[in-house]
Amino acid sequence: MDSEYFETNAIRAQYDRSQHREHSVPLYLTSSFIFDDAEQARALFADEIEGNIYTRFSNPNVTEFIHKLCLLEGTEDGIATASGMAAMYLSMVALLKSGDHVLACRSLFGSTHQILNTIFPRFGITYTYADINESHEEWEKKILPNTKMIFVETPSNPALDLIDMEWLGQLAKKKKVILNVDNCFATPYLQNPAKWGAHIVTHSATKYMEGQGRVLAGAVLGTKELIKEVRFFARHTGPSLSPFNAWVLSKSLETLAVRMDRHCDSALKIAQHLEKNPHVSLVKYPFLPSHPQYALARKQMKHGGGIVTFEIKGGQEAGKKFLNAMKMISFSSNLGDTRTIATHPASTTHSKLSDEERAAVGITPGLIRVSTGLENLHDILADIDQAIEASQS
């Protein structure tokens, strides 16, 4: 059944039960499927009927995962991919051609920037960046006659900048361009870009959706018309999600709501705690009143998310000392795990950007990104406090 409630859909949306009457959906570890007869095979390949042919095309575990995501995001259709970056690339390249132009918010994940900056020029696809603080009029002026897509992520990684999705949805409709929103940081539980007019919603399911740092996956969700194009491209290029990873992810979605509630509650308390620390010069979190887009965050997000960024006095050297002094918190480039993770974006996830490019999106040399885990809050705060103290020596 489809419910009006997020938690129920995340738990109860399942693939058809087999003759074995299982309560939990089994793993379908098969590369191919048997046809009942020649006519069924012909009809399946002609797309006259729906059904499984080959796991590169579809698989019951992948179908269940995508069905859940479409319910949770409020989209018509979707496709799963082997990684988050496969989803980001597929969501653009499947819908663009040589001569097309993309308008993108400058605040993007480092690898997404590389797609626009390094890979797309090989295929004759151009792009223009718009900044968060530019006016609506300036954004609109950057939409060219050959602009096919607007691509944004909100909140952005790692600066936690936000885009007004209601306004952007109206702009995309006015200009008749595709609006593609990376919803990785928020997840479908905290915001639904399709509600505001996004035609495509992209995810790295590796992060909060999976939630325990076990598997890689991505998803492209959207209108039936656009996903048909994305599915064709994926079917013939092969960035398929494995059945095992899809099974893990579908089970993980069952706990997404309760996990995100805890991530967000702890992240807000960490941000509030850091604001009181005299050795911290900057704290950024969407649900802090000090965030420049606090009102917008409250409008389009349920909670503020599980990521906190901050700058320790002393710049990059102090940041390095902080990371080296951590005792419990993991030093990793991942996020969205049960374990609290800290990283230094300037030297890791966004290291391929120039100093000027990092500065333009708020990535200072000493910026620390913390992905709040599910440990006891007192232990997280104690490790942060001792590491900050060590950074000042």
Which overall architecture, per CATH, does domain 257-391 show? Alpha-Beta Complex (3.90)
Q: Domain 6-253 belongs to what topology?
A: Aspartate Aminotransferase; domain 2 (3.40.640)
Residue 5's pLDDT band (cuts 50, 70, 90): very high
Contact 374, 262 (CB under 8 A): yes
Its pTM stands at 0.94
Residue 350's pLDDT band (cuts 50, 70, 90): low
Q: How far apart are CA 341 and CA 327, in angstroms?
A: 11
Domain limits, the chain:
6-253, 257-391
pLDDT digits 0-9 by tens, 206-263: 999 999 999 999 999 999 999 999 999 999 999 999 999 999 999 999 999 999 999 9
pLDDT of 1 reads 63
pLDDT digits 0-9 by tens, 164-208: 999 999 999 999 999 999 999 999 999 999 999 999 999 999 999
pLDDT of 225 reads 98
pLDDT digits 0-9 by tens, 78-96: 999 999 999 999 999 999 9
pLDDT digits 0-9 by tens, 151-164: 999 999 888 999 99
